[in-house]
Structure 1
Amino acid sequence: MDLDKLRHRFLQFGGWSLLWQYAKMGVLWCGIKALIRCVVSGASVKTAYPSIIQGVEEILVKRYRPILDKRLHEQAGAECGTIQNGVPRIVWCAWLQGIEQAPALVKACIASQKRALPDYEFRFIDRENYRQWTSLPRHVVDKFCKGKIPSALFSDLLRLSLLTKYGGIWMDASVYCSGFGNPDLKNRWERILSSELTLFRYFEPGRKAPVALSNWFIAAVPGQRVLSIVLEMLLAYWQDFDCTVDYYICHLYLVLVLREFPSVFNNMPRANSRTSLLLSKAFAREYSEEDWQKLTAHVSIHKLNYRKEEEALRHPNSYCRYLLNQENDV
């Protein structure tokens, strides 16, 4: 990460307010020392981040854990919600600036989603229409409008709120769907639809337990317990804070709450982020029809990075150019 990008992130996450919060949390000096070590050793400043965030996450868990404990106490002995009807056939997708303003790759991804799921209702969310579908507390909306809540974290609140209220499938606008062209892919998708909750998780080869989870794809039944508790915790955080002390706070609380619902966790389909990122990693490489067929025979949902579009298009025969041309030909 270069200094210009670091400065942009610093301002985006709260600027001096962020430093003040880190000082109050007692992690600022630890972070400064880690940054100095990076400068001296010539290492990337990214390596300083874990030194700060470990202490921050311990504080965030301790501070908002009572919300989880209260909900667990309220639900003790209660019947679990039924999933007889499965996940509603609704796809939620957001580009807060408006789909018309989205990069070409994002538009191609959305087109691929609609082509792969023709019998689903697509609901596109932006900053002008989200109030038609859900309501967020006044303090959250005000902080978002003032730039205190970054768009990505506001999107986290939207996806949790919408899925808790309506259920369905949230896919980031940078998710490409290559279709369900064989029985194995179709069966995997049907399992997602029949499950209470599905998140993509990162499974390393040879390991049964995931090492991380993602929130760029979430399928859920209405009123899903894990999502509703995480939403409540995040709303409480934004009641108290005016800056982003942890960019991955949504992931932090998803992991925390899922631990308390082992039946939900254990019944979740094995959707692997590692394989869904393979296309993104090959984005600027020369397109191979044989490799593409092999990949799409095993993976139907691909998480891409629209920020890589410009670089990938420098190659005349890249995978990125292939995807864009494919959508233009439709």
Structure 2
Amino acid sequence: MNLLELFRKQGGFSLIKQFFHGGVLGTAMYEFLLLGKSRTALEILRLSVTLKIKQKLEKKYRRSLEDFDRTFETSIKNSVSNKVWFCWIQGLDNAPEIVKICYKQLHKNLTSKEIVLLTKDNIHKYVVFPDFIQDKINKGTITYTHMTDLLRLELLSQYGGTWIDATVLCTSKEEDIPKYFFNSDLFFFQTLKPGLDGNATYLSSWYMNAKAHNKVIEATKYLCYEYWKENNSMIDYFLLHDFMSIVLDFYPEEHKKIIPRDNATPHELLLRLFDRFDLKTWEAIIEQSPFHKLTYKFTPDSIEKDNTNYKKIIQKSGGVFFE
């Protein structure tokens, strides 16, 4: 891969713009010149930039977090919510096939849950963003991707329940899924040791379960809103992860309550999505996690390959591979 292809693959000018606004462009350039362009070098660069961004945010918003802590109401008792939140802004009719299958599998497997499909036409029935947030969404200052970050925080804060990204495939029946996936004060997949070492942020937001008014969720939402009160661009694509990691560092006792579940295993199917289908390997992957984070962004060449795991998902979404 030549330098131009590498530049485009890593995000091109949008990444440079993000680094500039985040005040880490110099760090990124220095690390790139020092380390080179190998996959390992780029991962070290990413970790270094992520750490610096988190440190900047932590320093700037520490007082805001302390203000939140002083005013947070701890006496509110909350029950488990039966809702599962699933969002595709454009509506399911306009969704990629893989998204439709993921939605179908939730209905098939989570039979006791109330699965709420959120689109641009009904979000307002559940959530009303602050005016300054909605204004920035309308102007495109806040992207739809980040809007869904704020959306999950609002929904879990107000109602509780389980947020599941639209590209998460459920392959287990509800009775076979550990209860803590649905009845925790707070649960999400995390980067655990030894993979945790060197990572400034250590959580995944594609599956989140919480009771309403959870302190970590509320604090993260508060910091996100404080950020957008005075900014018109994102310092980091993973702003939600940055702020939630800062909150968890601030509340280590809350972090310890979260049942540890590693976020690497649920990505294994994604990494092998266009490998040749092998039943033994498939079953081994499916047994390791009830949920699998996929994507809808594929190259045409990949989709056309025969007898891949992807093709089996598309062809057998109602069949034996999900029993």
TM range (shorter): 0.7 to 0.9
Given the alignment, which residue of 27, 30, 33 partners 1:30?
A: 27
Q: Which runs of 5+ in 2 are unaligned?
A: none
Equivalence for 2:70:
73
For residue 3 of structure 1, report the CA deviation from its aligned partner.
Answer: 4.0
How many Å separate the matches in 1 of 2:280 and 2:27? 50
Amino acid at match of 1:193: F
Q: Number of residues paired by the alignment?
A: 312
Amino acid at match of 2:217: L
Amino acid at match of 2:66: D
Equivalence for 2:124:
131
How many Å separate the matches in 1 of 2:266 and 2:28? 33
Q: Closer, same or farther in 2 for the Cα pair 1:263/1:311, shift >3 Å?
A: farther
How many Å separate the matches in 2 of 1:139 and 1:9? 28
Secondary structure of the 2:207 match is strand
Given the alignment, which residue of 64, 77, 89 partners 1:82?
A: 77
Identity score, percent: 22
Give the TM-score, by structure 1 length.
Answer: 0.83
For residue 257 of structure 1, report the CA deviation from its aligned partner.
Answer: 1.2
Secondary structure of the 2:218 match is helix
Given the alignment, which residue of 205, 210, 213 partners 1:223?
A: 213
Give the TM-score, by structure 2 length.
Answer: 0.84
How many Å separate the matches in 2 of 1:62 and 1:220? 27
Q: Closer, same or farther in 2 for the Cα pair 1:177/1:119, shift >3 Å?
A: same
How many Å separate the matches in 2 of 1:300 and 1:329? 16
For residue 311 of structure 1, report the CA deviation from its aligned partner.
Answer: 4.8
Secondary structure of the 1:218 match is strand
How many Å separate the matches in 1 of 2:195 and 2:221? 33
Given the alignment, which residue of 170, 174, 178 partners 2:171?
A: 178
Amino acid at match of 2:257: N
| Matching of residue 243 in structure 1 with residue 236 in structure 2 | no
Amino acid at match of 1:131: H
Amino acid at match of 2:101: A
Equivalence for 1:296:
286
Q: Does the 8 Å contact 2:196/2:202 carry over to 1?
A: no
Amino acid at match of 1:200: F
Q: Does the 8 Å contact 1:230/1:250 carry over to 2?
A: yes
How many Å separate the matches in 1 of 2:301 and 2:159? 38
Q: Closer, same or farther in 2 for the Cα pair 1:150/1:35, shift >3 Å?
A: farther
Given the alignment, which residue of 301, 305, 315 partners 2:305?
A: 315
How many Å separate the matches in 1 of 2:50 and 2:195? 29
Equivalence for 1:283:
273
How many Å separate the matches in 1 of 2:50 and 2:262? 25
Q: Closer, same or farther in 2 for the Cα pair 1:123/1:309, shift >3 Å?
A: farther
For residue 43 of structure 1, report the CA deviation from its aligned partner.
Answer: 4.6
Equivalence for 1:59:
56
Q: Does the 8 Å contact 2:101/2:317 carry over to 1?
A: yes
Equivalence for 1:92:
85
Pairing 1:259-270 to 2, within 5 Å after superposition = 259-270=249-260
How many Å separate the matches in 2 of 1:43 and 1:272? 26
| Alpha-carbon displacement from aligned partner over 1:136-183 (angstroms, at most 9, x marks no partner) | 1222222222222222211100000011011110000000000138x7
| Matching of residue 164 in structure 1 with residue 157 in structure 2 | yes
How many Å separate the matches in 2 of 1:207 and 1:30? 22
Query: In angstroms, what is the RMSD of aligned CA positions?
Result: 3.0
When structure 1 is superposed on structure 2, of 124-133 and 308-317 the one drifting more is 308-317
| Matching of residue 200 in structure 1 with residue 211 in structure 2 | no
How many Å separate the matches in 2 of 1:55 and 1:204? 21
How many Å separate the matches in 1 of 2:187 and 2:255? 9
When structure 1 is superposed on structure 2, of 234-243 and 29-38 the one drifting more is 29-38
Q: Does the 8 Å contact 1:309/1:320 carry over to 2?
A: no
Q: Does the 8 Å contact 1:92/1:169 carry over to 2?
A: yes
For residue 112 of structure 1, report the CA deviation from its aligned partner.
Answer: 1.0
Secondary structure of the 2:188 match is strand
